[in-house]
Amino acid sequence: MSADCGVVCITGPFRRFLRWTPLTLGSGGSRDEARGPVAAGTSARPAGLQSRTMEPVTVLVVDDHPLMRRGLATLLGLEDWVARVVEAGSVREGAATGAAESVDVAVVDLGLPDGSGIDLVTRLRRTPGCPVLVLTMTRDDATVRACLAAGATGYVLKDSPPDTVVRAARTVLDGGLVLGPEVASAALGPPRPAALPAPLDRLSPADLRLLTLIAQGRTNGQLARELGVAEKTVRNRVAILLGVLGVADRVQAALLARDRGLLH
């Protein structure tokens, strides 16, 4: 990704093709002309979707800080594709305004006084045709994934340039997915493995495999053949494993493995 890249945009029903379209800020011309390079075979707008930017829309801005909220509302209100901007400062106000004002796109902060912005994302997405852009300072993987799971189609950090935020709002309005470069890998990469519960978290990968095989009913002879070691070695390793787990026998070890979710 080039240094001047403001956001990562995945277009086309991104649920089908996760193709990357960086959005770069042009030095002049219309915002359409400033749209960044698009990889061959992709479109800057999802196939089959008409651009809604020719028809002025209503934008909802939800943030509990009046200065931030009003500044963003003013910034968006300067765009020729925006008919009006409505504001809210809480989950309750955001949900009520979204339902009453026929909002076309919402820009939502996560830190709201009466609840999580993720809850508001879920409620706003129940309104047909209202995509949600999350604008926040929170960048941890779990929050990014939770927002996307709730239905957000954009996630950009508040320290992004103003034009990047405007472009992100317009892109989600047109049906695209926008992710700030700081959070794109968290959202699209493989999920991090969950930490094993105690006492399994004290076991090495080799011991975890041994415990799994024990729980599956393997005898010492079968374990020796499968692991490529002598039966005496198996007996020693099993004894050590039982001690680490704090159980008396193989049956208790198998039950512990099952109860801790090691067996699926």
212, 214, 218, 219 alpha-carbon torsion, rounded to 10°:
150
Q: Are residues 124 and 247 in the same domain?
A: no
Is residue 79 a contact partner of residue 127, using CB atoms and an 8 Å limit?
no
Select from 143, 134, 146 the least CA-distant residue to 180.
134
Question: Quick check: is 194 in a domain?
Answer: no
Residue 24 has a pLDDT of: 30
pLDDT 10s digits, 100-132: 998 999 999 999 999 899 999 999 998 878 999
User: Which residue range forms the structural domain that includes residue 229?
Assistant: 200-259
Q: Are residues 152 and 226 in the same domain?
A: no
Question: Quick check: is 105 in a domain?
Answer: yes
Residue 249 sits in a domain whose CATH number is: 1.10.10.10
Is residue 58 a contact partner of residue 83, using CB atoms and an 8 Å limit?
yes
Q: Are residues 123 and 174 in the same domain?
A: yes
Q: Are residues 18 and 69 in the same domain?
A: yes
Among 161, 188, 215, the domain boundary falls at 188
User: In angstroms, rounded to a whole number, what is the distance separating the alpha carbons of residues 207 and 190?
Assistant: 25
pLDDT 10s digits, 175-194: 888 888 877 766 666 655 56
Percent of the chain with pLDDT over 90: 42
Q: Which residue has the tokens 């852009």?
A: 133
Q: Are residues 162 and 126 in the same domain?
A: yes
pLDDT 10s digits, 139-164: 888 888 889 888 899 999 999 999 99
Q: Are residues 16 and 144 in the same domain?
A: yes
The angle formed by the CA atoms of residues 94, 66 and 79, to the nearest 5 degrees, is: 75
| Tokens coding 257 | 């493995």
**Mean pLDDT to the nearest integer, 42-54:** 41
Of the pLDDT bands very low, low, confident and very high (cuts 50, 70, 90), residue 227 is: confident
Percent of the chain with pLDDT over 70: 75
Q: Are residues 147 and 82 in the same domain?
A: yes
pLDDT 10s digits, 61-70: 999 999 999 9
Residue 13 has a pLDDT of: 36
Residue 64 sits in a domain whose CATH number is: 3.40.50.2300
Is residue 63 a contact partner of residue 85, using CB atoms and an 8 Å limit?
no
Of the pLDDT bands very low, low, confident and very high (cuts 50, 70, 90), residue 264 is: low
Residue 184 has a pLDDT of: 74
Q: Are residues 34 and 153 in the same domain?
A: yes
Q: What domain count does the chain have?
A: 2
Question: Quick check: is 255 in a domain?
Answer: yes
Query: How many C-beta atoms surround the C-beta of residue 248 within 10 A?
Result: 9
**Residue 43: pLDDT over 80:** no
Is residue 129 a contact partner of residue 102, using CB atoms and an 8 Å limit?
no
The angle formed by the CA atoms of residues 73, 78 and 80, to the nearest 5 degrees, is: 125
Is residue 153 a contact partner of residue 176, using CB atoms and an 8 Å limit?
yes
Question: Quick check: is 264 in a domain?
Answer: no
| 229-234, Cβ contacts within 8 angstroms, sequence gap of 24 or more | none
**Mean pLDDT to the nearest integer, 211-237:** 89
**Residue 19: pLDDT over 70:** no
Cα Rg of the chain (Å, integer): 26
Number of Cα atoms under 13 Å in the Cβ half of residue 258 = 10
**Residue 166: pLDDT over 50:** yes
Residue 7 has a pLDDT of: 52
**Residue 173: pLDDT over 90:** yes
Q: Are residues 159 and 239 in the same domain?
A: no
Mean confidence (pLDDT) of the chain: 78
